[in-house]
Amino acid sequence: MHHIVQQLIDGVVLTGDVLTDVRTLIMKWGLSHTLEHCMRVSREAYQLARRFSVNADEAVVAGLLHDISDIVPSSEMVALAEALKLDVLPEERHFPPILHQRLSAEIAREIFRIDNRAVLSAIGCHTTLRKGASSLDKVVFLADKIQWNQPSTPPLRDAILICLDKSLDAAALCYLNCLWERRSDLAVIHPWMQEARNELLAMDKENSSGLTGLKKDLSD
């Protein structure tokens, strides 16, 4: 384990049980709001997984761990990513908090010994999604947006829920389109987000499955 990651768990006794250890580690850093959010995302991911025939056990674990890197201060994220030999993108260097998705996957691997690539992938793109995303990636991405960790009403939650009646892809595209429309307000436009949206748009066009229909539903 990298010594910087080791420092994060100094004094923590890990049991090997993901739920117990997530709870212990997050509370060591006094982040009760993060713990509560991770629990809610995990439950939401479980429900979405059951609904869309995705592996629910993987969804639960990915949900629990998706924001585990909240224990790393934003000011230290680039240094940690570089220490872990991640290829830090210019957008991530410009706005380090966006790195938290990839750092959570690294912490899941290093500290929690998660070697399930599907779970690590879902954790690692839960904020932006990515091109070629799996159904599990989309489940965790959407669960995070539905169970938004801000005190205000989850943005776009209603839109996502309506689109989920169509499919995971429709809901993911719905959210990414809304983000795209307000891209001038975003701290950064992450290339993975752009690539995910472009891919979903192309698939939507190919199937002509009805983004038009989605827009109509949203305006009803």
- Residue 44 engages Fe ion in binding (rule: CB under 5 A): no
As measured in angstroms, the least distance from the Cβ of 32 to Fe ion is 14
Q: Which is nearer to Fe ion, 67 or 106 (CB)?
A: 67
As measured in angstroms, the least distance from the Cβ of 124 to Fe ion is 11
Are 154 and 148 within 8 A, CB to CB?
yes
The pair of structure tokens assigned to 182 is 């307000």
Distance (Å, rounded) from C-alpha 151 to C-alpha 79?
A: 30
- Residue 67 engages Fe ion in binding (rule: CB under 5 A): yes
Total residues in contact with Fe ion, by rule CB under 5 A: 2
Closest CA to 135 of 149, 145, 115, 121: 121
As measured in angstroms, the least distance from the Cβ of 212 to Fe ion is 31
Q: Which stretch binds Fe ion (CB under 5 A): 20-28, 117-125, 136-144, 164-172?
A: 136-144
HSE at residue 64, side-chain half, CA atoms within 13 A, is: 20
The three-class DSSP label of residue 206 is helix
Closest CA to 6 of 71, 74, 62, 101: 71
- Residue 144 engages Fe ion in binding (rule: CB under 5 A): yes
Are 98 and 91 within 8 A, CB to CB?
yes
Q: Which stretch binds Fe ion (CB under 5 A): 42-50, 66-74, 75-83, 201-209?
A: 66-74
As measured in angstroms, the least distance from the Cβ of 147 to Fe ion is 8
As measured in angstroms, the least distance from the Cβ of 27 to Fe ion is 17
Contact residues toward Fe ion (CB under 5 A) are 67, 144
